[in-house]
Amino acid sequence: MKTIGILVFEDVEELDFVGPLEVFGTAARFGTGCRTIVIAETVQSIRGRNGLTVVPDVDFENAPDLQLLIVPGGLGARTHARQNAAILQFVRAQTGLVASVCTGALILAEAGLLRGETATTHHNAFEELGPYAGLSLRRSERYVIGERVASSAGVSAGIDLSLALLAKFWGAEIASKVAENLEWNKTLVTGEG
């Protein structure tokens, strides 16, 4: 059983975390050995950028070991979340794969996880990643998957990354099945037309 954590914080971009939640939740319903939990600094409700309110499943202190942590972006990532010592410590402490969606890459960079890595982010945030040394940016990629970290471009690219990670962990067949169920473009997952 793999446990996938999705980090949330005030002013998180909703689709950045709900898209991956849908991908891995659908995969679990199809029988993969995964469970997805929503994690925040506290279990108090979080208000997203567009007004969606969500109550996290667990806080940092009670989070289980994760095989994958997804770090979404949004206004909160660009401002307070990447300056929050508790969030940065939680991200740094992960031993599994850490993946960013959109400007969640700013949190990974601030936590030091992108040093020596290749990454991407939302096209409007490339300049914000510029000051971080040792980072190679892929401006034309929807997502990049490395050994320790993965990243995706803006918003909907987080679904592409999640499907690619699903294929990495459980195979292209289940990723294709989930993409079909979501009515997502399977060519992004499998290369099929």
107-134 as b/e: b if 16+ CB within 10 A: bbbbbebbeebebbbbeebeebbeebee
Q: Which spans in 93-171 are helix H? A: 104-110, 126-129, 157-170
Q: What percent of the chain has pLDDT over 70?
A: 96
In the structure, what pLDDT confidence band is assigned to residue 130 with cuts at 50, 70 and 90?
Answer: confident
Token pair of 63 as six digits: 């989070």
pLDDT exceeds 50 at position 193: no
pLDDT exceeds 70 at position 131: yes
In the structure, what pLDDT confidence band is assigned to residue 187 with cuts at 50, 70 and 90?
Answer: low
pLDDT exceeds 70 at position 128: yes
pLDDT score for 185: 76
Average pLDDT, the chain: 93
**Between 172-181 and 14-29, two packed helices, what is the crossing angle to 10 degrees?**
120
pLDDT score for 172: 94
Strand-pair partners of 188: none
CATH number of 2-190: 3.40.50.880
* pLDDT tens digits, one per residue of 134-165: 888 998 899 999 999 999 998 899 999 999 99
Tell if the pTM clears 0.85, that is, is over it. Answer: yes
pLDDT, mean of residues 17-39 = 96
pLDDT score for 186: 57
Greatest alpha-carbon span in the chain: 45
* pLDDT tens digits, one per residue of 78-125: 999 999 999 999 999 999 999 999 999 999 999 999 999 999 999 999
